[in-house]
Amino acid sequence: MDLRYSKSDEEFRVELRGWLEQEVPKHGVSPDQNDWEGRVEYDTSWQRKLFDAGFAGINWPKEFGGREASVSEQLVYYEEYARARAPYVGVNFVGLLHGGPTLMVEGSDEQRAAHIPKIIRGEEVWCQGFSEPTAGSDLAALKTRAERDGDDYVVNGHKIWTSYAQVSQFCELLVRTDPDAKKHGGISWLVMPMDLPGIEIRPLPTLQGDSDFSEVFLEDVRVPIANRVGKENDGWRVTNVTLRFERGTAFASEMYRLQERLAQLKQVAKSITRWDASAWEDKALRREVGHFQAELDSLWSMVKLSVAQSGETGVPGLGASAVKLYYTELTQKVLEVYMRVIGRAALARVTIDDLPNEEVLDKALNSLSLSIAAGSSQIQRNIISERILGFPKDR
């Protein structure tokens, strides 16, 4: 139960902080949400800078080009990264945070060699083809078929909510290889190149007004059998490895950044006049914000425990579900109060009177997805009650 950072942790902090202070402003502001070319360039060139400076793949093993940082250095990294407002992982999310890590644990040597060095340099963008129109929370009900033909699987099906599909080179694709096996038993995990014939991508506008996710239609797409990760029909187990990474520390820097957002909320409240005093004079608001501060600090302490626990195995544990639920609900609550503070400025999604309304609204709208994506809050509660508390499964 020791929270002290070591001397070398602090040295790492100084080094990283110095680098970020120099590089983050140079990298400029992120392009418009609908400027895909600009976004890819912005996100991937930033990843390349991280790599060249030795700050990419912070928890990845050295043999895969990562920094293999200790648990405490990882925490320093998340803290400093958030503090410096460094660019969001963006289009690199899938590759860096769960596609690559899944290959490290489950992939063959060839698969690792083919993808991991490129993912960590920002040279390969990945997407996740898991969800289907009739298989969301019940992911194992997926229907996309893969039939063997020579050296290939011939894939037919329909994926949905595929983030960054339109800019990806590869897709972690779940397919059904045995239609007669039980639901969880006939699934395989494939690496699908996105430039194969038969793939059609139709962007779906999100409630943000961007098109961060798409529908992906697959018609007789020939994916080499060699691209399968893990054994045939053992894909559900591999999927759980992927999902655990996705629910693990993928959001750590975002969690820390909430601290800063709450501080900003306080500053804004002080600058806004309600009747004849500042909004911060409102005792009810202050009490609520103080309560959030307690929860935010606890969230970060939870992350410290959770990272230490997963540090041993490399795979985040079940406790990650508790962290995700707590983070999701807290983020939504904080942003709702933030919207109340900016009042009628919330009617505009472009900056008014130097208020942070544009950013607040972007974040508030985005926070709605947190309780749906990567396993909805209801599914996380099922996981906790069934796998941790030991209650029977839903039918």
Partner 1 sequence: MDFRLSEDQEALKQGIRSFCEGRISIDQLRELESKPGAFDRALWGEIAEMGIFGLRLPEDRGGVELNVADAVLVFEELGRAIAPGPLIWTHLAAGLVEGADLGDTVVGGLDMTGPSTELIMLEHLESIDTLLLLKPDGIERIDPKAIDATPVEIPLDPFTPVHHAKSLPAGERIADAETAKEWRLVGTALASAQLLGIAESTLEAATDYAKKREQFGRIIGSFQAIKHILADCFVRQEAARAAAYAAGATLDYPEVGNVERAVSAAKVVAGDAAMKNARASIQVHGGMGYTWEVPAHYFLKRVWVLENVFGTIDEHSDQLAELVGATA
- Just list the catalytic residues: 246
| Contact partner at residue 213 from ligand FAD, partner 1, none, CB < 5 to 8 Å by partner kind | ligand FAD
Query: Considering the complex, what minimum distance in angstroms separates the CB of residue 232 from partner 1?
Result: 34
Q: Kindly determine how many residues on this chain lie close enough to bind partner 1 according to the rule CB under 8 A.
A: 52
Q: Binding partner of residue 315 among ligand FAD, partner 1, none, CB under 5 to 8 Å per kind?
A: none
- Burial class of residue 24, CB neighbours in 10 A (0-12, 13-18, 19+): middle
Q: At how many degrees (to 10) do helices 320-342 and 283-313 cross?
A: 150
* Closest to partner 1 by CB, 179 or 392: 392
The answer to whether 213 contacts ligand FAD (rule: CB under 6 A) is: yes
| Residue 117 interacts with, from ligand FAD, partner 1, none (CB under 5-8 Å by kind) | none
Q: Which of 226, 291, 336, 343 binds partner 1 (CB under 8 A)?
A: 291
Q: What does 376 interact with, of partner 1, ligand FAD, none (CB < 5 to 8 A by kind)?
A: ligand FAD
Choose the stretch contacting ligand FAD; rule: CB under 6 A; options: 52-60, 325-333, 356-364, 376-384: 376-384
Residue 37 touches ligand FAD, criterion: CB under 6 A: no
Residue 174, CA distances (Å) to 124, 128, 199, 276, 303 in order: 19, 9, 15, 59, 30
Look up residue 135 and give its DSSP letter.
B
Parallel, antiparallel or unpaired: strands 170-176 and 126-129: parallel
Give whichever of 233 and 377 is closer to partner 1, judged by the CB atom: 377
Residue of the chain from 36, 77, 161, 327 that contacts ligand FAD (CB under 6 A): 161
Region from 58-66, 125-133, 194-202, 327-335 binding ligand FAD, contact rule CB under 6 A: 125-133
- Whole-number Å distance between alpha carbons of 290 and 296: 10
- State the amino acid at position 135 in one-letter form: A
Q: Which does 75 bind (CB under 5 to 8 A by kind): ligand FAD, partner 1, none?
A: partner 1
CA dihedral (177, 174, 235, 116) positive or negative: positive
CB 196 within 8 A of CB 170: no
- Separation of alpha carbons 163 and 160, rounded Å: 9
240 binds ligand FAD (CB under 6 A): no
Q: Strand 152-163 and strand 213-224: pairing?
A: antiparallel
Other Cβ atoms within 10 Å of 46 Cβ, number: 23
- Judged by the rule CB under 6 A, the positions of this chain that interact with ligand FAD are 127-131, 136-137, 161-163, 213, 369, 372-373, 376, 378-379, 382, 394
